[in-house]
C-alpha cells in the first residue's frame, strides 16, 4: 500500500510540474528588452518588394513595429545591420537533429541523455546558419521535445523546434533489422506498428507524449540496410495514421521513396511527401490533385549521389544509393511541372548540419525555381505547412522576432543564403558577426540568450 501511495504522489507532482511549467506546449522566456534594428534593405516577405531604410522594433521577443520614421525608445539597444539584407529567418521542415555524418548518436554505445546533448548541439548549428524554425522528423520524439523545450525556455541557443514522432513498420526504415533479436528488442523504442488499430494507438500515444507532427516511413529507405524501397505500410494502415493524426491536429510527413509507396501515401492524404524519390509525372499530378506538398530534400539526394562507390556506406546501402543517384531531382521536376506546392525541406543530418543553403542552390539548378520562389518556400510556405503563419515566416508587427541578415542579395542569387551574418531567434541574438568582430553596434550580442 505504501509503495502505491508514493507512486501516486510522484505522479501527481509530475503532472502539476508539467502543467505549471507549460512544458507540454513549450514556454518562451523572452529577453525583457527593446531592440531597434537599423537596416538599409529588408525583405519582409519574399513575395513583396523589399523595403529600403527601416527600423525594426523588437520588444520582449516580438516585432512591435517596422517603418522608416519610428520613434526608438531611449533605453533600446540598437543593432546596425545596414550593410546586409535583412530577412525573415529560414524554416527547414525536414531535419534530423540527432544525426550528422560527423557527430552521430550511436544507440548501442551511447545513452539517450547523450542523444539530447547532440540534438541541442545541432540545433544551435542550424540556427547559426539562419534557420530559426525547424521540424525534427526523428528518430525519437523525446529528443526533439527535450531540445524544443530547452530552447523555448531560453536555456540553449537554437531554432524553434517542431517535434515529430516517427512511425515505421516492424523492421522498416530507421528500425532495427537483421541483427540478433535480443539486441533488436533492446533497441526497440516503440516506433513501429502493425494494423490500423495499433497504428492509430501509436499516433494517439505520440500525441499524448507531446509530439506535434507524425513522420511515417511509407516506404523503405536507402540508408537502412536490407529493406526494399517500395511501399511499407498497407493502405489501411496509412489511412488510419493520417485520419488519427489529423483528428488530433497533427500533420503527417511521409518519407516516400518507391513510386508505389509515394502513390499510396498521397492517396491516404498525407500532408507532405518527403523526397518522393522515384515518383514521376503521374505521382506529381496526383499530389497536386490531393492538395499535398513536396519537401524535395535535394541536398540529401545529392549527398547520396556524391557518396556512391566511395566506401562511406556499406555495400548493401551503397547498392540502393546507386539507384537513388540515378533519379536525383526527378520527382522535384515533375512536381514543378504539375504545379505542386514546394515546401523547403533538406533532410539536414543526412549531410552535415549548417549547409542548408545548398538546398536553395539545388532548387534553382535542378528545378529552375526563381530566388523569390525559393525564399517563399523557405519562409511563408514552410510556416503555413507548420501551422505557424501567425507566428513566423515574415517580418511583420505582432510576429516573433525571427530575423536574419545576409551579405549580398538573395533575391538575385540564393547563394547569398550561405553568407549569414546575423541571427535573432524569437528576439534572442544568437549570432552577430559584426559585434563579434569588435564593433560597438550590437555589443553584448550574446546576452539575449
Tell me, residue by residue from 71 to 110, as one string, x for binding to Zn ion by CB under 5 A and - for no binding. Answer: ----------------------------------------
Tell me, residue by residue from 178 to 197, as one string, x for binding to Zn ion by CB under 5 A and - for no binding. Answer: --------------------
How many amino acids of this chain bind Zn ion (CB under 5 A)? 1
The least distance separating Zn ion from the CB of residue 288, rounded to whole angstroms, comes to: 23
The least distance separating Zn ion from the CB of residue 138, rounded to whole angstroms, comes to: 7
The least distance separating Zn ion from the CB of residue 120, rounded to whole angstroms, comes to: 19
Between 141-152 and 112-128, two packed helices, what is the crossing angle to 10 degrees?
50
User: Nearer to Zn ion by C-beta: 54 or 272?
Assistant: 272
User: Nearer to Zn ion by C-beta: 302 or 347?
Assistant: 347
The least distance separating Zn ion from the CB of residue 347, rounded to whole angstroms, comes to: 4
Window 316 to 375, contacts with Zn ion (CB under 5 A): 347
The least distance separating Zn ion from the CB of residue 275, rounded to whole angstroms, comes to: 8
Which residue has the closest beta carbon to Zn ion?
347
The least distance separating Zn ion from the CB of residue 176, rounded to whole angstroms, comes to: 18
Residue 317, CB half-sphere, CA atoms under 13 Å: how many? Answer: 15
Provide the β-strand partners of residue 294. Answer: 273, 342
User: Nearer to Zn ion by C-beta: 351 or 422?
Assistant: 351
User: Nearer to Zn ion by C-beta: 93 or 432?
Assistant: 93
The least distance separating Zn ion from the CB of residue 346, rounded to whole angstroms, comes to: 9
Greatest alpha-carbon pair distance for the chain in Å reads: 71
Taking CB under 5 A as the rule, does residue 140 contact Zn ion? no
Q: Label each residue of the chain as H, E or C.
A: CHHHHHHHHHHHHHHHHHHHHCCCCCCCCCCCCEEEEEECCECCCCCCCCECCEEEEEECCEEEEEECCCCCCCCCEEEECCCCEEEECEEEEEECCCCCCCCCCCCCCCCHHHHHHHHHHHHHHHHHCCEEEEEECCCCHHHHHHHHHHHHCCCCCCCEEEEEEEEECCCCCCCCCCCCHHHHHHHCCCCECCHHHHHHHHHHHHHHCCCCEEEEECECCCCCCCCCCCECCCHHHHHHHHHHHHHCCCEEEEEECCHHHHHHHHHHCCCEEEECCCCCHHHHHHHHHHCCEEECCHHHHHHHHHHCCCCCCCHHHHHHHHHHHCCCCHHHHHHHHHCCEECCCCCECCECCCCCHHHHHHHHHHHCCCHHHHHHHHHHHHHHHCCCCCCCCCCCCCCECCEEEECCCCCCCHHHHHCEEEEEECCEEEEEHHHHCCCCCCCCHHHHC
The least distance separating Zn ion from the CB of residue 200, rounded to whole angstroms, comes to: 23
The least distance separating Zn ion from the CB of residue 223, rounded to whole angstroms, comes to: 9
The least distance separating Zn ion from the CB of residue 348, rounded to whole angstroms, comes to: 9
User: Nearer to Zn ion by C-beta: 62 or 305?
Assistant: 305
Cell of residue 122, nine digits: 545541432
The footprint of Zn ion (CB under 5 A) covers 347
Amino acid at each position: 500500500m505504501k509503495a502505491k501511495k508514493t507512486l501516486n504522489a510522484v505522479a501527481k507532482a509530475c503532472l502539476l510540474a508539467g502543467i505549471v511549467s507549460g512544458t507540454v506546449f513549450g514556454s518562451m522566456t523572452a529577453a525583457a528588452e527593446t531592440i531597434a534594428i537599423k537596416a538599409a534593405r529588408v525583405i519582409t516577405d519574399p513575395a513583396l518588394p523589399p523595403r529600403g531604410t527601416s527600423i525594426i522594433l523588437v520588444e520582449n521577443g516580438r516585432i512591435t513595429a517596422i517603418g522608416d520614421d519610428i520613434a526608438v525608445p531611449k533605453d533600446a539597444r540598437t543593432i546596425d545591420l545596414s550593410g546586409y539584407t535583412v530577412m525573415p529567418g529560414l524554416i527547414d521542415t525536414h531535419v534530423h537533429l540527432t544525426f550528422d555524418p560527423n557527430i552521430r548518436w550511436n544507440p548501442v554505445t551511447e545513452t539517450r541523455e547523450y542523444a539530447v546533448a547532440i540534438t541541442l548541439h545541432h540545433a544551435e548549428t542550424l540556427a547559426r546558419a539562419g534557420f530559426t524554425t525547424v521540424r525534427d522528423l526523428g528518430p525519437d520524439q523525446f529528443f526533439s521535445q527535450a531540445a524544443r523545450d530547452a530552447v523555448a525556455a531560453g536555456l540553449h541557443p537554437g531554432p524553434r523546434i517542431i517535434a515529430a514522432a516517427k512511425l515505421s513498420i516492424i523492421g522498416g526504415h530507421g528500425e532495427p533489422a537483421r541483427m540478433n533479436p535480443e539486441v533488436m528488442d533492446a533497441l526497440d523504442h516503440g516506433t513501429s506498428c502493425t494494423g490500423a488499430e495499433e497504428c492509430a494507438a501509436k499516433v494517439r500515444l505520440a500525441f499524448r507524449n507531446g509530439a506535434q507532427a507524425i513522420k511515417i516511413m511509407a516506404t523503405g529507405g536507402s540508408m537502412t540496410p536490407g529493406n526494399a524501397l517500395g511501399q511499407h505500410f498497407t493502405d489501411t494502415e496509412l489511412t488510419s495514421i493520417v485520419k488519427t493524426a489529423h483528428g488530433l491536429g497533427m500533420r503527417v510527413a511521409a518519407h516516400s521513396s518507391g513510386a508505389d509507396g509515394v502513390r499510396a501515401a498521397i492517396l491516404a492524404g498525407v500532408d507532405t511527401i518527403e523526397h518522393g524519390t522515384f515518383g514521376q509525372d503521374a505521382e506529381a499530378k496526383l499530389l497536386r490533385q490531393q492538395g499535398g506538398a513536396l519537401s524535395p530534400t535535394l541536398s540529401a539526394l545529392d549527398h547520396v549521389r556524391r557518396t556512391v562507390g566511395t566506401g562511406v556506406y556499406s555495400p548493401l546501402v551503397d547498392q540502393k544509393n546507386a539507384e537513388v543517384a540515378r533519379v536525383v531531382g526527378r520527382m522535384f521536376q515533375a512536381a514543378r511541372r504539375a504545379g505542386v506546392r514546394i515546401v523547403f525541406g533538406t533532410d539536414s543530418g543526412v549531410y552535415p548540419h549548417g549547409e542548408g543553403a545548398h538546398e536553395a542552390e539545388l532548387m534553382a539548378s535542378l528545378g529552375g525555381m526563381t530566388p523569390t520562389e525559393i525564399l517563399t518556400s523557405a519562409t511563408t510556405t514552410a510556416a503555413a505547412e507548420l501551422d505557424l503563419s501567425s507566428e513566423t515566416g515574415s517580418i511583420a508587427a505582432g510576429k516573433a522576432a525571427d530575423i536574419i541578415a545576409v551579405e549580398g542579395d538573395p533575391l538575385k542569387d540564393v547563394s547569398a543564403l550561405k553568407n549569414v551574418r546575423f541571427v535573432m531567434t524569437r528576439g534572442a541574438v544568437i549570432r552577430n558577426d559584426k559585434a563579434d568582430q569588435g564593433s560597438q553596434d550590437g555589443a553584448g550580442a550574446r546576452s539575449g540568450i
